[in-house]
Structure 1
Amino acid sequence: MRTALQNGPVVLDGGLGTRLEARGNDVSSALWSAEILRQQPEEVRAAHQDFFEAGARVATTCSYQVSYSGFARVGVETDAVDELLARSIAVAQDARAASGLGPTEAWVMASVGPYGASLGDGSEYTGDYGLSAAELRDWHRRRLQVLAAAKPDALLCETIPSLAEVVALREALSDLATPAILSFTVADGRLRSGESLVDAVRIAESTPNILAIGVNCSAVADTDRALRIMREASELPLIAYPNSGEVWDANARSWLGSAQSLVAYVPEWLALGVKLIGGCCRVDTGELAEIAAAATRPRS
């Protein structure tokens, strides 16, 4: 995957939960798309294939909300969670093969959601967990180890809202050989916690096997501002996959507001050094196809 990033931009997928919902699945539970992985893995495989058909060359696994604490609340044992984490990677790899793509043409990135995602209360957009970096490290460690053992192309630690969680992930990744990406959720040029984005970049740069850093699950304008700050602070490849522009209401469990296309930003972001580009929540196959076309269009 490092070689692929050197050769040109790689197109990510869009919002997996969005695609699953568009296919007629109910993703309104506290376990979100993880419940579909548990009950209907064939739907997850089909959703990955839909994105590959639209032009994606990365499948982001359905493990964002698969956590031991989250599944414990619905009576699922630890060993079963281990199996679901491994299943998420196998399903994505199967979808890649079924799409006629090989491991040097398309990649599987294991999604590692933040602690707040396990709570289902929207706290990943504030980082206000009340936990130390050490406690967060211990919470993340086993899941990272299980995902790494299933041999994804990279571990995508995403929607990171606070410095404590950046530190926790750096430490939890320290004994793993799998390449890692750290992607932050931002607002107004800072982490969602209000802490310094530059400080987050400095911590991320010291993460073993770091492949790229960037922004996801944020508004397009906030993503643009953050990418420019990050480019000033680091020479690492950048990853960008913002939301549609709608805002998640955790209490109502619904999206509010109107969508904004991110396609117009693609040329600027590629020029800035973004090497992995796609969409997050509410970005489906139609817009992903437009992003793919813009990202792969020859540049003068």
Structure 2
Amino acid sequence: MSFTASLTHFINDNGPLILDGGLSTELEAHGAKLQGDPLWSARLLQTDPQAIKDAHNRFLLSGADVITTATYQASISGFVKHLDVSSEGARELMMSGSASGQRDRQRRLLVAGSVGPYGAFLHDGSEYTGAYAEEMSVEELKLWHRPQVDCLAAAGADVIAFETIPSIKEAEALVELLREFPNCKAWLSFSSYSDGSLFTDAVQVGSRSTQLLAVGVNCCNPAVVERCWTLPGRSFLCPLGGCCRVGPAQTAELRRELKGS
């Protein structure tokens, strides 16, 4: 089933699209030791993939329509460096997060392939400032992100979730890169700690691509999110869900508020 068909099915039959919550939070709640790990939850793709599947299942049982792969802090370079695997082994790990979700297709879900900012690989907090983007070109940022997007697209993710992007320059790189994968759809979520650009500027970047289905924010207080954004001639999907520290209980509460069940 294509993403467009899947999305139409969910919107028509189920109402608002409910995302899952904080995967790492849920993994840690069940014993995973992730703090300080340069790969964060992505390490478990090698060491304990069942823990990731179980966490996804708990979010699905709580009412989430979307599961997000454990690849936010993953990269081919990062896997090679921190797991001592080959480039091919790193690609297999990157793809495995999405592939596990495909096996649950009969459960009426969508799989979002998570792509974090370059700063997540640096593991120095710069994913919230975007400071690195000042010294990188758009082409350099595209070069960095290309292997990750290629793997998730090849694995059959329904949508690429560009998450916690802290700078307009990196967003522009991702929008340009997306054109290299014409069959992919994506959403673009900015960190509210970003580089100081106006959110209206972020929406304008998103409007340049018909492949982008949503532009939003994450890692922010819900109180600052006032409404969905629209542009003349364009409308964006408004998926709703949690981020860090949001577990299945909160996802279930959100579903009750939005769908009454």
| TM-score of the two chains, using structure 1 as the length reference | 0.78
Contact 1:174–1:208 under 8 Å retained in 2 = no
Q: Deviations over 1:100-154 (max 9, x none)?
A: 61xxx21111111111111111111111113221110110112111210111111
Q: How far is 1:182 from its partner?
A: 0.9
Report if aligned partners of 1:212, 1:237 keep a CA contact under 8 Å in 2: yes
Match of 2:155 among 126, 150, 154: 150
Cα separation, 2, equivalents of 1:159 and 1:132: 19
Alignment CA distance shift 1:149-1:293 (3 Å): same
Cα deviations across residues 35-83 of structure 1 (Å, max 9, x unaligned)?
1111111110111000001111111011111112322332333212210
Q: Could you state the TM-score of these two structures normalised by the residue count of structure 2?
A: 0.88
Within-5 A mapping of 1:75-94 = 75-94=84-103
4+ long deviations beyond 4 Å = 231-235
Counterpart Cα distance in 2 of 1:22 and 1:234: 44
Match for residue 122 of structure 2 among 119, 123, 126 = 119
Contact kept, 8 Å, 1:19 with 1:47, in 2: the verdict is: yes
Paired with 1:295 and 1:43, the residues of 2 have a C-alpha distance of: 29
Identical-residue share of aligned pairs (%):
41
Give the distance between the partners of 1:69 and 1:150, measured in 2 at CA: 18
What residue number does 2:3 align with? Answer: none
Structure 1 position 234, deviation (Å): 8.2
How far 1:175 moved relative to its partner? 1.8
Aligned partner letter, 2:31: G
| Counterparts of 1:139 and 1:233, CA distance in 2 | 33
Given that 1:41 and 1:91 are in contact with CA atoms closer than 8 Å, whether structure 2 keeps it comes out as no
Instruction: Map 1:261-280 onto structure 2 (within 5 A).
Output: 274=238, 276-280=239-243
In the other structure, the counterpart of 2:164 is 159
Structure 1 window deviating more from structure 2 (73-82 vs 116-125): it is: 73-82
Correspondent of 1:294 among 251, 257, 261: 257
Shift in Å, 1:297: 2.6
Alignment check: 8 A CA contact 2:202 2:215 kept: no
Paired with 1:61 and 1:13, the residues of 2 have a C-alpha distance of 10
Cα distance in 2 for residues equivalent to 1:57 and 1:282: 19
Q: Say what the alpha-carbon RMSD is for the aligned residues.
A: 2.0
Match of 1:210 among 206, 209, 212: 212
> Which residue is 2:236 aligned to?
237
- Would you say how many aligned residue pairs link Structure 1 and Structure 2? 249
What are the equivalent positions in structure 2 for 1:9-48 lying under 5 Å apart? 9-28=16-35, 29-48=37-56
In structure 2, the CA distance between the partners of 1:66 and 1:220, relative to structure 1 (3 Å rule), is same
Query: Structure 1 CA distance, aligned partners of 2:223 and 2:131?
Result: 23
- 1:70·1:119 contact (CA, 8 Å) conserved in 2? no
Structure 1 counterpart of 2:131, one-letter code = D
SS at match of 2:131: coil
Q: Counterparts of 1:171 and 1:5 in 2: how far apart (Å)?
A: 28
1:194 and 2:202 correspond? no
Asked whether the equivalents of residues 207 and 234 of structure 2 are also in contact (C-alpha less than 8 Å), the reply is: no
Letter in 1 for 2:54: A
Deviations 1:198-254, CA, capped at 9 Å, x for gaps: 1221111112422222111222233x15x46x347884324xxxxxxxxxxxxxxxx
1:181 equivalent to 2:183? Answer no
Over 3 Å counting, the alpha-carbon distance change for 1:197 and 1:157 in structure 2 is: same
Q: Give 1:64's aligned residue.
A: 72
| Aligned residue in 2 for 1:133 | 138
Partner Cα separation in structure 1 for residue 23 and residue 191 of structure 2:
17
Cα 1:60–1:41 change in 2 (3 A) is: same
Greater RCO, CA 8 A, separation 6+: 2
How far off its partner does 1:6 sit? 4.3
Correspondent of 1:220 among 222, 243, 253: 222
Q: Amino acid of the residue matched to residue 90 of structure 1?
A: A
Q: Counterpart of 2:235 in 1: which secondary structure? A: coil
> Are 1:66 and 1:81, in contact at CA under 8 Å, matched by a contact in 2?
no
